Amino acid sequence: MGGRRWFKLGAIGTAAGAFSGLFGVGGGTIIVPLLILWLGYEEREATGTSLAAIAVIAAIAAGLQGAYGNVDVQRGVLIGMPAVAGVLAGTALQQRVPQRAISLLLAGLLVVVAIDLVVR
Amino acid sequence: MIVAMAIGLAAGVAAGMLGVGGGILFVPALVIFLGFSQLDAEATSLLAIVPVALVGAWRQHGYGNLRLGEGVALGGLSAAGALGGVVAANSVPQRALELGFAALALAIAAQLVHRAVREDTP
């Protein structure tokens, strides 16, 4: 991996971390489109790689929040279990839609996030 | 509780389809339907995201859509970014940050649409 690529990865990571640290919105909303636009990822690759990054980020952050006693483990598991079933369905479904549709759905999500930031 | 679990399911589908963690749905579900405070909801949402992201990344690996090294590097670099975010939050007005990031989100959305419309191959 060249220096330039590392620089871009660093910039994307910084933006994603800042975004989630500031607004409590997951970094994935920023990571996926920037992997596509800056690093030439295909849509599916960007979403898969983003999930690996999120697993690292969320594990660190959840550990820190847990140390402050803010995590409700029981209800976190209750809401997380159906979500694991959902992600199995979502990834399977994603293999069957055109990459372009993923990009357009992401654009829609970003517009929703922008509106939420402005009206809050 | 049933509604919150249904929203959890939807959050998982969104996570698989779009490569996000699902917090955008977890947090309001915990606040509105289970009476969490915003802080507790964000903290608990992070815990729920971990298994979702792990299983999603594992499935995408099976489909050949994971660059593990860059993903893990990105995750580590984001931790540094989160620290920077906390510093920025204390030195810049919150409203300026919200509007700045809203503009950034719209600019990225416009580029995605432009690229998707321009491409001939799906």
User: In sequence order, what DSSP letters do the residues of A82-110 get, joined into one string?
Assistant: HHHHHHHHHHHHHTTS-HHHHHHHHHHHH
For chain A, the straight-line distance linking the first and the last C-alpha, in angstroms and rounded, comes to 40
Kindly state whether residue B84 falls inside one of the protein's structural domains. Answer: no
| Encoded amino acid at A44, one letter | R
Phi-psi label, residue A2: left if phi above 0, alpha if psi -120 to 50, beta otherwise = beta
For A103, the closest chain B residue by CA position comes to B112
For A18, the closest chain B residue by CA position comes to B85
Q: B87 in contact with A at a CB cutoff of 8 Å?
A: no
Higher pLDDT, B34 or A61: B34
Q: What pLDDT is recorded for position B80?
A: 79
Q: What pLDDT is recorded for position B97?
A: 82
C-alpha span between A106 and A4 (Å, rounded): 26
Q: Is the CB of A49 less than 8 angstroms away from the CB of B77?
A: no
Per residue in A3-49, pLDDT (tens digit) is 888 899 988 998 888 877 777 666 888 999 999 999 999 999 999 99
C-alpha span between B24 and A22 (Å, rounded): 14
**Chain A partners of B52 at a C-beta cutoff of 8 Å?**
80, 83-84, 86-87
Per residue in A91-103, pLDDT (tens digit) is 999 999 999 999 9
Q: Give the minimum alpha-carbon distance from A69 to chain B in angstroms, rounded to a whole number.
A: 9
Residue ranges of domains in chain A:
3-119
C-alpha span between B60 and B65 (Å, rounded): 5
What length is written for chain B? Answer: 122
Kindly state whether residue B22 falls inside one of the protein's structural domains. Answer: yes
Per residue in A34-87, pLDDT (tens digit) is 999 999 999 999 999 999 999 998 888 888 888 888 899 999 999 999 999 999
Looking at the 3D structure of chain B, how many domains does it have? 1
The two tokens of residue B92 are 């810049």
pTM of the predicted protein model: 0.91
Please tell me which of the candidates A28, A56, A120 has its beta carbon nearest to residue B72: A56
The two tokens of residue A89 are 């369905």
How much is the CA Rg of chain B, to the nearest whole Å? 17
Nearest to A111 by CA among B16, B24, B110: B110
Range of the domain at B36: 2-66
B-interface mutation test, from A50, A78, A119, most B Cβ less than 10 A away: A50
What's the count of helices (H) and strands (E) in chain A, helices before strands? Answer: 5, 0
Nearest to A82 by CA among B77, B66, B15: B15
Predicted complex ipTM:
0.91
Please tell me which of the candidates B44, B86, B113 has its beta carbon nearest to residue A76: B44
Nearest to B26 by CA among B6, B16, B18: B6
CA angle A110, A113, A115 (to 5 degrees): 110
Token look-up 């719209």 returns B106
Q: B107 in contact with A at a CB cutoff of 8 Å?
A: no
| Encoded amino acid at B36, one letter | F
Q: B32 in contact with A at a CB cutoff of 8 Å?
A: no
What's the count of helices (H) and strands (E) in chain B, helices before strands? Answer: 5, 0
